[in-house]
Each structure stands twice: as C-alpha cells, then as structure tokens.
C-alpha cells in the first residue's frame, strides 16, 4: 500500500497502569494449551477507561450520545500531532493551541504531545503531576469545531481538576491527598482555588459532541509536528461510556494510495 502506520497506543495487558480508584485489570485463561491440547481462550475483566481509550459524550454529559451512537466518520480523518511540551502541573492554553504548527483546521482530529507519555506507568508522577487541558482549551476546541481531541496524559483535564483533586468522588481531600498537599506546599494555595471546576475540558468538548482520547503514547514522537490520517474505532457497545482503542496515525509519502470507490467495475 505504501502507507506508513504509527501505533499511538500504549501496550495493554496484565499489570496495566490504572487510574487511582480503578480495580486492576484481570486476565484469566479459561482454556490453556497444556490443559486442552490446542486451544487458548482468555477472559478479561476491565473498565473501558483503561490504557489508551476514548471517552464518549455520555461519560460526563447526561443525555449525550453513548459510544455506539457516535457516527463512524468521527473515528477516522485527517488531523495533527502537535508538540506542546509541558512541565509539572502546567496548563495547555488556548494560546498554545493557536500558535502550534501545523495549524489546527476545522474538522481536524487533534493530538497533543506534552512529553508526559514518557512517564506512563503505575506511579504518581504520571497521574498526579501531569499537565493538562482546562476550560479555556476545551472552549477553544469547541469554537474551532475540531472532530476529536487527544492528549498523552492521564485525562483530558488537568489532574487537579479531576477526582485526583477535591472534586466529585475525590471530595473532600482528593483521591491523592498527598498530591493536593504537595500543591499547596509549592504554591501556597489550595487546589480548589486554582481548579474550582470539575473536569471543565471534559464538559466543554463532550457537550459539543467532541470525543476525547486519553493516555496517548506509543510512536507519538515519530509523527509529532506532522499532519496525518487517524483511525481508532471503538466497539459497537450499546450504551458504552468509553472504549479501549488502538489509535493509529497513517502517512502516505507517495500520495498514491486511494480508498476504493465502491464501483463494482474492474
């Protein structure tokens, strides 16, 4: 085909890094080669917000589309992988997005490389110290009318605007109270002063029908700064709030490959 494929998903399996209040992924062999003499069958127990995954609008917005109700064209299309490096607890701003290259176009799938995918693992650096989007960035994406948004961090929102901070299931002290205490020790301010809203980016983009990828990684550095074609199809899961996906970026250097026309003539 002449197409170059780049896997932007983290490996997934036993010992999978999990969000602080999720149970471990469980993988059991129902049939094993030694026992059955030629059949391997495995059973998986997991939340769908595990590893590289996509959030459906219904994940946080009552009455919004579930995973099976999002139109298929949303999971395929052109877009950009942007280099926006960020340090501990920094915000990805509307100015960052406006000034990034290649320029974001209406209808794009937009993936942000902050450099934080390098910390992906079962550790509080990745889950508690990450940078992230906020309300400003979420509203910018909506105004720009992008198709999808993704980030190489633990969530679409800054960690201190999630339940890791004193929000939702994290009230009143946060799922990681030591992270909240560390923030106050370093800044002199309570988390709730600087992050008063719970998941404002989630709410902004998902309310507008823009789904979001979280925990992007894999070969992301190889396509950063490029305009590519993306594909990442979730399961056709009725009433699904999200889904593990294999996010793939594709580049056709020759420009020769074309999708078939559907014409039955040879």
Domain coordinates in residue numbering, the chain: 4-11+48-251
Query: CB of 68 within 8 A of CB of 240?
Result: yes
Average pLDDT over residues 82-107: 98
Q: What is the pLDDT of residue 260?
A: 85
**Rounded CA separation 187/74 (Å):** 40
3-state secondary structure (DSSP) of residue 216:
strand
> Which residues lie across from 226 on neighbouring strands?
81
Model confidence at 156: pLDDT above 90: yes
Dihedral of the alpha carbons of 213, 233, 205, 202, in degrees to the nearest 10: -40
**ω before 180 within 30° of 0 (cis)?**
no
pTM given for the model:
0.95
Residues 194-242 have pLDDT tens digits of 999 999 999 999 999 999 999 999 999 999 999 999 999 999 999 999 9
3-state secondary structure (DSSP) of residue 28:
strand
Q: What is the pLDDT of residue 155?
A: 96
pLDDT level of residue 1 (50, 70, 90 thresholds): confident
CATH superfamily of 4-11+48-251: Putative cyclase (3.50.30.50)
Residues 25-37 have pLDDT tens digits of 999 999 999 988 8
Q: What is the pLDDT of residue 37?
A: 83
pLDDT level of residue 266 (50, 70, 90 thresholds): low
Percentage of the chain lying above the pLDDT 70 cut: 99
């Amino acid at each position: 085909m002449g197409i170059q494929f780049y896997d932007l998903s983290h490996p997934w399996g036993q010992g999978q890094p999990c969000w602080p209040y999720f149970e471990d992924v469980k993988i059991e062999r129902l049939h094993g080669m030694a026992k059955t003499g030629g059949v391997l069958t495995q059973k998986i127990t997991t939340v769908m917000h595990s590893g590289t995954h996509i959030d459906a609008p219904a994940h946080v917005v009552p009455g919004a589309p579930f995973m099976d109700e999002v139109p298929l064209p949303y999971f395929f299309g052109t877009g950009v992988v942007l280099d926006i490096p960020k340090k501990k607890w920094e915000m990805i701003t509307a100015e960052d997005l406006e000034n990034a290259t290649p320029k974001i176009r209406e209808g794009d799938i937009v993936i942000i490389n902050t450099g934080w995918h390098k910390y992906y693992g079962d550790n509080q650096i990745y889950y508690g110290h990450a940078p992230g989007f906020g309300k400003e960035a979420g509203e910018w994406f909506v105004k720009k009318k992008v198709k999808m948004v993704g980030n190489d961090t633990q969530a679409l929102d800054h960690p201190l605007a999630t339940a890791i901070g004193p929000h939702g299931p994290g009230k009143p002290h946060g799922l990681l109270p030591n992270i909240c205490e560390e923030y106050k020790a370093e800044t002199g301010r309570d988390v709730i002063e600087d992050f008063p809203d719970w998941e404002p980016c989630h709410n902004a983009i998902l309310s507008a029908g823009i789904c979001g990828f979280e925990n992007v990684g894999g070969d992301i550095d190889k396509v950063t700064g490029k305009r590519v074609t993306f594909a990442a199809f979730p399961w056709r899961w009725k009433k699904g709030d999200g889904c593990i996906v294999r996010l793939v970026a594709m580049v056709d250097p020759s420009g020769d490959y074309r999708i078939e026309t559907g014409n039955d003539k040879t």
